């Protein structure tokens, strides 16, 4: 089973890649960290998108984990067009493009698995992060639409929405926000950040044949954050 993982050089993506069984094809920006994998592609989504598409087709990808993403914390009246374009491209357009290049092979073999890593911000909305919330909400809509298109081919596609996760990105998001980590934890029902291994475990389940009936779903792993407070 050939598995493509974007954003595999650190954080959630690295944890996912290390916990899946199969041939991992890692995609990211930091070559030094990607060298831990047998197969990898250094890719800037702004410049190397066609190269990524060719890489996907060449390696006959069975499973896609769209994990790479970017975050900006900024009030809505201060955002710029380049910021809107950058986050929309990385968080929504590129995952859609990756899927489009992988689907012909998946359809030809009547099997495939796609997991998008969204965010609880795309489910609930996050004040001060409207671009991020919008792009991650878009992933959920895309997932539902594509699920209907490919169900007949034995292909499943789902989105996992993590809450606050104990990663470098999670911690840097705190640095950008107006709240301390202690204040954020106090608002989480389980009073903790989610661990990357929890996301990896759900990914492992969703790409298994045990989960073949699970498709088009938006699954929250957020320590209760989406339930209320």
Higher pLDDT, 165 or 99: 99
Tell me, what DSSP letter sits at residue 166? S
Give residue-wise pLDDT tens across range 73-97: 888 999 999 999 999 999 999 999 9
Helix axes 11-19, 196-206, angle to 10 degrees: 50
Pair of tokens at residue 24: 């991992």
Q: What pLDDT is attached to residue 164?
A: 86
Whether 205 is catalytic is no
Helix (H, G, I), strand (E, B) or coil at 6: strand
Q: What average pLDDT is seen over the chain?
A: 92
- Residue 48 — very low, low, confident or very high, per pLDDT cuts 50/70/90? confident
- Residue 171 — very low, low, confident or very high, per pLDDT cuts 50/70/90? low
Residue among 105, 132, 153, 229 flagged as catalytic: 132
Give residue-wise pLDDT tens across range 97-122: 999 999 999 999 999 999 999 999 98
Tell me, what DSSP letter sits at residue 193? P
Which of 57, 44, 45 lies closest to 104 in space, CA to CA?
A: 57
Give residue-wise pLDDT tens across range 180-226: 777 778 888 888 899 999 999 999 999 999 999 999 999 999 888 88
In the predicted model, is pLDDT for residue 175 greater than 60? Answer: no
Helix axes 49-58, 94-109, angle to 10 degrees: 20
Q: What pLDDT is attached to residue 196?
A: 95
Complete domains list, the chain, with CATH: 2-165+194-221 (3.40.50.720)
Beta-strand ranges (E) seen in 147-228 are: 155-162, 218-221
Q: What pLDDT is attached to residue 183?
A: 78
| Helices and strands (DSSP H and E) totals, the chain | 10, 7
Number of other CB atoms surrounding residue 83 within 10 Å:
14
């Amino acid at each position: 089973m050939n598995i493509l993982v974007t954003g595999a050089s650190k954080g959630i993506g690295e944890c996912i890649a290390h916990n899946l069984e199969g041939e991992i094809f890692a995609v990211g920006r930091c070559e030094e960290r990607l060298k831990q994998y047998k197969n990898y592609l250094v890719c800037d989504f702004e410049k190397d998108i066609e190269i990524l598409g060719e890489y996907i087709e060449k390696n006959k990808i069975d499973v896609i984990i769209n994990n790479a993403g970017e975050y900006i914390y900024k009030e809505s009246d201060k955002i710029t067009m380049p910021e809107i374009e950058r986050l929309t491209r990385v968080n929504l357009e590129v995952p859609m493009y990756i899927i489009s290049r992988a689907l012909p092979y998946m359809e030809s073999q009547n099997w495939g698995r796609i997991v998008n890593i969204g965010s609880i911000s795309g489910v609930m909305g996050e004040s001060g992060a409207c671009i991020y919330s919008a792009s991650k909400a878009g992933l959920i809509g895309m997932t539902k639409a594509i699920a209907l298109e490919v169900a007949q081919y034995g292909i499943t596609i789902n989105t996992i929405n993590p809450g606050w996760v104990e990663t470098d990105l999670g911690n840097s998001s705190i640095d950008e926000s107006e709240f301390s980590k202690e204040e954020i934890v106090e608002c989480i029902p389980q009073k903790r950040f989610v661990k990357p291994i929890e996301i990896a475990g759900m990914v492992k389940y969703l790409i298994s044949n045990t989960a073949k009936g699970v498709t088009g779903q938006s699954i929250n792993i957020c320590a209760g954050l989406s339930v209320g407070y």
